[in-house]
Each structure stands twice: as C-alpha cells, then as structure tokens.
A and B are shown apart, each in its own frame.
Chain A
Amino acid sequence: MKPALIGAFVVAMAILPMVIPQFLSFQLTYAGAYTIAIVGLVILIGKTGQISLGHGAFMAVGGYTVAILAHSGVGYILSIPAAAITAGVLGVGLGAIALRLEGIYLALATFALAASIPPLIKRFSSITGGAMGITLPSHSELELYYVTWIVAGLLLLLAYLVLRGRVGLSLRALRDSEAAAVSFGVNPVFYKTLAFGWSAAYAGVAGALLADATAYVSPDVYGIPLSLTLLVGAVVGGLDMIWGAILGGAVIEFLPLWSQKINPAFSSVVYGVALVAIITFMPEGIAGAIARRLRSPAPRTS
C-alpha cells in the first residue's frame, strides 16, 4: 500500500503543473517550500523533543543567502546548498545554547530569535537592503515548481533514511529519556546539536526556495508570525511522521487563502476555527489520523 501511495503522489505531482492553472502551481511551490521547513521542525520537535518557535529566522538566513548570492552572480541551484550551510551553521550555534535550556526556556530563547531577526536585518542595510529588501531574478513557473518539489522529495527521503538508522534511534532515545539514552552511550551534546543544525538547514533551504519563488526578500516577512505558522503546520500535519509535513505545508499555504474566500472580514477567525477543529478531531495531526485509519482498515469484502 505504502509504495503505491508514494508512487501515485509522485506521478500526480509531476503531472499537476501541466493541467492546473499557473497560479495554483505557484501556490503549490510555496506549499513545497513550507513542507521542507516543517520536515525540519518535525525532526526537531517530533523526533528529538526540542521545541523551536524561531524557525522563521533560519528561513530568513536562507532567503537572504540566496538573495545576496544572486547579486554576486551565483546561480539559483548552487545557492540552495549555500543557504542550507549558512542556516545550518547558525542552527548548530543555537543548538549549543539549546543544550542548556529545556522546555519553556528553549521556547522563549527561540522566540527571541524570531523577534530579533527583522530589526537585525534592517540594521545591516548595506548588505541586506534594509526595509526595502532585495529583488531577485525571476524564474519560470515550471522551473520553480519542479526544483522545489524535487528538493522537497530528496530532503524527505534523506530524513526518512537517516531517522530510520542509528541517528534516528539515538534522537528518539534522547527524547524519551535522556538519562537512559546516556547510559546506553548516546552522546547528548552531539546529537542535540546535530538535530538543531539539521533542522535549521532544512528551514534555510525552505527560505531559499521561498525567496526564489517570490523573487524578493524583505525583513518583516520573517517575523514571529512566520515562525508560529510553521509550528502550526508541523502540529497540524503530525509530529510523528515526516510525510505529515506535506499535509502541514498544504494547510498553512491553502487554509488562509481559503478562509479569506469564505469570509474576507473574518478570515483569521475562520482560519483559527478550522485549526482548532483539525487539532480537536485529529490530535495526532492529519498524518496521524490517516495512519491510524490505514492500520485498522474497514472490513474487506473480497
């Protein structure tokens, strides 16, 4: 069943942009970028048990990396790994701090990171263009779509493979009981820092792809609301399974647009109510609910 689903999904995603209106594939490109950032959050929160309210800041680092590189003549594709590296390095730095903080204190520290990134970007306006932001060269619709979703697919696969192995086991052990994990020889300093850096690198790639799709970066995009939206996407998609990130990405991309259509005056109310409904009826996220359904299928007739 599972390979069939994955196959169907890949085929559908490959065909989609040829049959749907352009603006819809453009919105799907955004959903793809969000998916990558959410995979990063699932690794960190779901698999390692560390919280981050500041992943928008890593997206900012990724976005500004490609914007600045684009103006130094570095190509679109090449700048994506560069964004992963800059955001990843910052993530490792923050991971070192995270070692000393837990729970609510870590949440607050990452929240402060999210709050400080827009004014910080404005302060260094000679590099970042200040509040005016930086305009990037634009790319064709299909190029953006396929690059984003191929990168998303590869990063999902990478996360799946790594989490299935020794690293994933160590992370989950640390999440469930640090003392027990240490007694089995898991190095908490190494693995917690790794998780933060890895997760931040994913957010950096997401920021890069989002910046390329928008062809513009500006500081206020990356404030607290973006970080919280990513967290919403991770929880709604499901913190237990990385493929839930695809659903989470779709929800944070399409739910606000949809709720505006329902009632423009109360769009945030509709958005909020819809979120509460999802969390209430699917406490393990959409992916969790689907997985449970698949595990206990309806009685077969054949």
Chain B
Amino acid sequence: MSIRKTWFLTAIITAVVLATTLCLPTSAQNVPGVTSTEILLGGTHPYSGPASAYAPIGKGILAYFAYVDDHGGVYGRKIVYKDEDDAYNPPQTLQLVRQLVEQDHIFAMFDPLGTPPNTVLRPYLNDNKIPQLFVATGATTWGADAAKYPWTIGWQPDYRDESAIFAKYLMAHQPNAKIGVLYQNDDYGQDYLGGLTAALGSKASQIVKSVSYEVTDPDVTSQIASLKSSGADTVFIFATPKFSVQALVTISKLSWKPLIFLNSVSNSQTIMRATTSAGGPAATNGVISAIYLKDPSDPAMASDPGIKLYKAILAKYSPGADPADGNYLYGMAVAFTMVDSLKKAGKDLTRDDVMQAAIHLHETDNPFLLPGIIVADSPTDRFPIREEELIRYDAGLWHPFGGLITARR
C-alpha cells in the first residue's frame, strides 16, 4: 500500500511538472526577444524598499518607450519593457532576471539600477552573452572592467569623473586650497573620494581632513565640526540628499564660509530649497555643483524643446508624476540612448549588433541632456557620458558657468 502510494504520488507530481514544462513558450526565433513586431527588454528598479526614491527612473523609461511605440517604434517593432521590482536586493534581482532571461526570453537587460544588483547580474549575463546595457549606477567598474565583462556598459558620468571635474576647477582657481571632505562610507562615497585624490595627484596632500558617515547615522554635525576645526577652507560633500542638507545647514550655522562642492546626486532644486528654508540663503549661496541632465525645475528651461517634450510625454504616459523630480528625466534620457542604440544596430537585430552599437555611440541629439553633451564611447573608452557643466547656486537658482568640462583624458 505504502509503496504503491509513493509511486502514485510521484507519478502525479511528475505529470504535473511535465505538463507545465510543455506549456512554457519556447523561443521560435533565432534571436530571443525579437519578433517582427516587438523587441522585449528587461529591467529592474526598486519600486519598493529602501531605495524606492529611484523608482521614477523606471517610470520615466516606460513613459518614453510608450511614446516611441506610439510613433512607429524602432523599424516598426514596438519596445516592450518588462520592468521588475527587485527592492534593491541582489538575490532577488538575480532570480527575477533569470526568469526574464529563461522564461520570458528577453533580448537584453536595460538600465538595471544600483551597484550591488548589477554586480550580481554581471557574471550571469556575460556568461550567457546577454547585453547588460546602460546600468543605472556611477561606479567606475562598468567601464573599467570591460575586458572581463564585454557585455556590460554604464551610461551616466561615473563618480570619479565628477570628482576630477571639481578638482580641475579648484586647481585652476584656488591652487592652494586646504581641502576637507565629507563622504558616505560605501562604494559610492569612496569612489568620489578616490577620484578626487587621483585627480589632485601630487596636490592630494592638500586634503587636510576627510570624514565619513554611515547611512544609518542620525546626522553629520560632529563630522562637519571636525572638518571646520581642521582649518579647511574648501569642502567637498559626497553625500546623499538627506545628509547633504544637514551638512550645508550645519556649515552655515557654524558661521563657517568655506568654498563648497556638492555632488550632483544631491543638487536637485527640491533639496536646495529645503536647505535654504532650514539654514537661510547663506547656506546655499555660492555652492558649486555639476550637471549633465537638463534641470526640469529651472524656469529658464521652460521653453527648451527637450524639457517641453519631457513634460508632454510625462503628462500623457505617466499621469500624476511630478515633472520636477529629475529621476523621470534621467529615465527618459537613458531610454533615448537605448532607442538610439537599437536604431544603430539595424533592422536585422542581434545581441551582438546592439552591443556593438552601444560601444560605438556618438549621440549628439539627446534632447534631455545639456546642450553640447555628446554621448560617446568606443571599445577602449566605455564611459558614455564624461562631460558635465559646473553650476553655482545663487538667489534660489542654479547658474551654469564655464561651459562643459570633460573628464576624457
């Protein structure tokens, strides 16, 4: 009885399993994810969890693809973007992406967000020769380790480049500056600090003090106090929005007036306004930062065709979204580069073609980037955006100055 039952149950389970297997779609084409009417791309963004402030990037991408699809798609094919919520949790990212690859048969991964999630995806996608395109993180490794991982490429200016741009300006204008640095103690903050040290070269000894904080710290008051007492006259803030606000307000409250460089991660209008209301105009006036995307909240940009297009697309395809949140713009700008690469890859699309297109970019017409910025790379320089413009805050607005600075060597 017992043995017969065993076999009976086993048979049932096996039958069920076989039935599910047979029902799974098998890719009919030789190129997964590409049919005569569709291109299927996969993505991951944190729609939930601690990093969900970045979720609008995914929504911006979806809105832009919907707009492109309504205007004929790419060579008549619609772009279908299967964007999953990985909650910024690498094991979950890997499982979701394996499902996208092995069950949904996506053509490529586009814009997975975050350094840890992309780190866990990279060996798997490269082993299977699946493009991992324009990842949403500024770590240096995406461009620097291309020899080992040829199917992976970044997009945004990397953190080290931004540091180098700041250093270039400082050395030209205040070569004897005494530098203090506040940085977040993780890969992002350390990349910024490393970039600054490298760009300063022999002048790196002018960094008189660097202090770090943990994302779990309540505030950075003691860090700022120790920077002040170090005698620094220039401060670099490599911090996420909440801590940047605290740092700027504390500096102002201590009646300290150093030259301040603020990383682009924290320079949105929303943040600057919050700082001004908490610490007065003195807390923000004269702060220097850098941008590469157009600023949707800048009134001077209101008549810019790129910003107008951005607002129109957002209103139609992502109703209810706040256009002042630059993350939507980021999503559209990177989606533009994706569409550009698909077009360049040609009508007979293969994974190899799109990868070749992605490492031979020369995009001069991205409407969401600052005028003059060229998205360009090559097999030996796999950093698509390496230009930024410095901006100075004054009387409630960012003012660009000095033109584009490149970190290309």
Which residue numbers of A lie inside 8 Å of B, CB to CB? 1, 3-5, 7-8, 11-12, 15-16, 19-23, 26-27, 30, 118-119, 122-123, 125, 130-133, 135, 138, 210, 213-216, 218, 220-221, 225, 256-257, 260, 264-265, 267-268
- In the bound complex, residues from chain B placing their C-beta under 8 Å from that of A268 are 48
User: CB-CB < 8 A to B186: which residues of A?
Assistant: 122, 130-132
Interface string of B1-42 (1 = CB under 8 A from A): 111011001100110011011001000000000000000000
Chain A proximity of B63: nearest CB distance (Å): 15
Partner of A21, one of B2, B10, B102, B124: B102
Q: Which residue of B lies closest to A265 (CB)?
A: B47
* Contact partner, B123, options A119, A215, A260, Cβ 8 Å: A215
A8-B6, A15-B14, A131-B187 are contacts. A20–B20 as well, Cβ < 8 Å? yes
Interface string of B153-191 (1 = CB under 8 A from A): 000000000000000000000000000000001111010
How many angstroms between the C-alpha atoms of A7 and B3 in the bound complex?
A: 8
Q: Do A133 and B14 touch (CB < 8 A)?
A: no
CB distance from A33 to the nearest CB of B (A): 10
Query: Which secondary structure dominates where chain B touches chain A?
Result: helix
Task: Pick from B13, B85, B91, B188 the residue with the most CB of A within 10 Å.
Answer: B91
Within 8 A of A (CB), among B183-205: 185-188, 190
Q: Which B residues lie at the A interface, using CB under 8 A?
A: 1-3, 5-6, 9-10, 13-14, 17-18, 20-21, 24, 47-50, 83-85, 87-92, 94-96, 98-99, 101-103, 115-116, 119-120, 123-124, 127, 185-188, 190, 214-216
Using Cβ atoms and an 8 Å threshold, which residues of chain A touch B102? 21-23
CB contacts (< 8 Å) of B123 on chain A: these are 135, 138, 215
Q: Which residues of B contact A19 (CB under 8 A)?
A: 14, 17-18, 21
Given contacts A11-B6, A30-B91, A213-B91, 13 further A-B contacts (CB under 8 A): A5-B9, A8-B9, A12-B13, A23-B101, A118-B216, A130-B186, A130-B190, A132-B115, A133-B90, A133-B119, A214-B94, A220-B88, A257-B99
A152 to chain B, nearest CB (A): 17
Q: Would you call B5 and A218 a contact (CB within 8 A)?
A: no
Q: Is A21 touching B95 in the complex (CB atoms < 8 A)?
A: no
Indicate if the CB atoms of A220 and B3 lie closer than 8 Å: no
Check B2 against A3 for contact (C-beta < 8 Å): yes
A257: chain B residues within 8 A (beta carbon): 95-96, 99
- Chain B residues within an 8 Å CB radius of A214: 90-91, 94, 120
Choose one: A12, A118, A216; the contact of B90 (CB below 8 Å).
A216
Please measure, in the bound complex, the distance between the C-alpha atom of A281 and the C-alpha atom of B262, giving whole angstroms.
54
Q: Are B85 and A267 in contact (CB under 8 A)?
A: yes
User: CA–CA, A16 to B13, complex, Å?
Assistant: 9
Contact partners of A27 in chain B: CB under 8 A: 95
- Chain A residues, Cβ within 8 Å of B214: 119, 122-123
Most chain-A Cβ atoms within 10 A of its Cβ — which of B3, B103, B120? B120
Task: Let me know if A11 and B10 touch, CB within 8 A.
Answer: yes
18 contacts between A and B (CB under 8 A): A3-B2, A8-B10, A21-B102, A22-B102, A23-B99, A122-B186, A131-B185, A132-B186, A138-B124, A213-B91, A215-B123, A216-B94, A216-B120, A218-B119, A218-B120, A221-B89, A264-B83, A268-B48
